[in-house]
Amino acid sequence: MKVVIPYTPRKQQAYVHKNLDKFRWSLLCNHRRWGKSVMCINQLIKCAMTNKNFAPRYAYVAPTFSQCKKIAFDYLKYYTKDIPGTKYNETELRCDLLNGARITLLSSENPDSIRGIYLDGCIIDEAAQIKPALIDEVIIPALSDRKGFMVLCGTPQGMNNLFYDYYQKAQASPKWFLYRSKASETKIISDDELATARAVMGDEKYNQEFECSFIGNISGSIYGSIISTLDDKKQLGRIPYDPGYPVSTAWDIGFSDSTAIIFFQNVGHAINIIDYEEDRNFAFPHYAQILKEKDYVYDKHLGPHDLDQTSFASGKSLREVAYQMKINFRIAPRVKIEDGIHAVKMLLPRCYIDTDNCSKLITALRHYHRKFSDKERIFKLKPVHDFSSHACDAMRVLATGFNEEKIINKHKQAIADNRYNIL
Average pLDDT over residues 195-219: 83
Q: Classify the C-alpha dihedral 211-214-217-219 as positive or negative.
A: negative
Q: What was the pLDDT predicted at 343?
A: 95
Q: What was the pLDDT predicted at 196?
A: 95
Average pLDDT over residues 43-71: 91
Task: Report whether pLDDT(184) > 90.
Answer: yes
User: What backbone phi and psi angles, to 5 degrees, belong to 57?
Assistant: -130, 130
Higher pLDDT, 53 or 4: 53
Task: Report whether pLDDT(348) > 80.
Answer: yes
- For the chain, give the percent of residues with pLDDT over 90: 58
Higher pLDDT, 273 or 110: 273
Q: Is 351 helix (H, G, I), strand (E, B) or coil?
A: strand
Domain ranges of the chain: 11-217, 236-410
Band of residue 414 on the pLDDT scale cut at 50, 70, 90: very low
Band of residue 379 on the pLDDT scale cut at 50, 70, 90: confident
- Bridge partners, 149 (sequence order): 121
- For the chain, give the percent of residues with pLDDT over 70: 90
Q: What was the pLDDT predicted at 386?
A: 85
Q: What was the pLDDT predicted at 422?
A: 43
Average pLDDT over residues 104-118: 81
Rg, the chain, Cα only:
27
Band of residue 350 on the pLDDT scale cut at 50, 70, 90: very high
User: Where is mean pLDDT largest: 152-156, 224-228, 253-257?
Assistant: 152-156
Of 50, 57, 72, nearest in space to 114 by CA: 57
Task: Report whether pLDDT(408) > 60.
Answer: no
User: What backbone phi and psi angles, to 5 degrees, belong to 234?
Assistant: 60, 30
Q: What was the pLDDT predicted at 375?
A: 67
At the top level of CATH, the class of 236-410 is alpha beta
Q: What was the pLDDT predicted at 402?
A: 84
Band of residue 161 on the pLDDT scale cut at 50, 70, 90: confident
What mean pLDDT value characterizes the chain?
A: 87
Q: What was the pLDDT predicted at 412?
A: 46
Average pLDDT over residues 234-239: 92
User: What backbone phi and psi angles, to 5 degrees, belong to 146?
Assistant: -100, 0
Band of residue 197 on the pLDDT scale cut at 50, 70, 90: very high
Task: Report whether pLDDT(269) > 70.
Answer: yes
Band of residue 136 on the pLDDT scale cut at 50, 70, 90: confident
Task: Report whether pLDDT(413) > 70.
Answer: no
Q: What was the pLDDT predicted at 411?
A: 42
Task: Report whether pLDDT(162) > 60.
Answer: yes
11-217: what fold?
Rossmann fold (3.40.50)
Band of residue 4 on the pLDDT scale cut at 50, 70, 90: confident
Q: Is 34 helix (H, G, I), strand (E, B) or coil?
A: coil
Q: What was the pLDDT predicted at 170?
A: 92
Q: What was the pLDDT predicted at 314?
A: 63
Element (H, E) at 305: none
Q: What was the pLDDT predicted at 420?
A: 44
Q: What was the pLDDT predicted at 317?
A: 82
Task: Report whether pLDDT(205) > 50.
Answer: yes
From residue 57, how far is each of 19, 107, 265, 362 by CA, in Å? 21, 16, 49, 38
Average pLDDT over residues 100-119: 85
Q: What was the pLDDT predicted at 339?
A: 94
> In this structure, are residues 411 and 405 in contact, taking their beta carbons and an 8 Å threshold?
no
Q: Do the bridges between strand 329-331 and strand 298-303 make them parallel or antiparallel, or are there none, so unpaired?
A: parallel
Mark residue 100 as left, alpha or beta (left: phi above 0; alpha: psi -120 to 50; beta: remaining). left
From residue 329, how far is each of 97, 297, 332, 401 by CA, in Å? 68, 15, 9, 11
Q: What was the pLDDT predicted at 158?
A: 77
Average pLDDT over residues 144-151: 94
- Residues for the chain: how many in total? 423
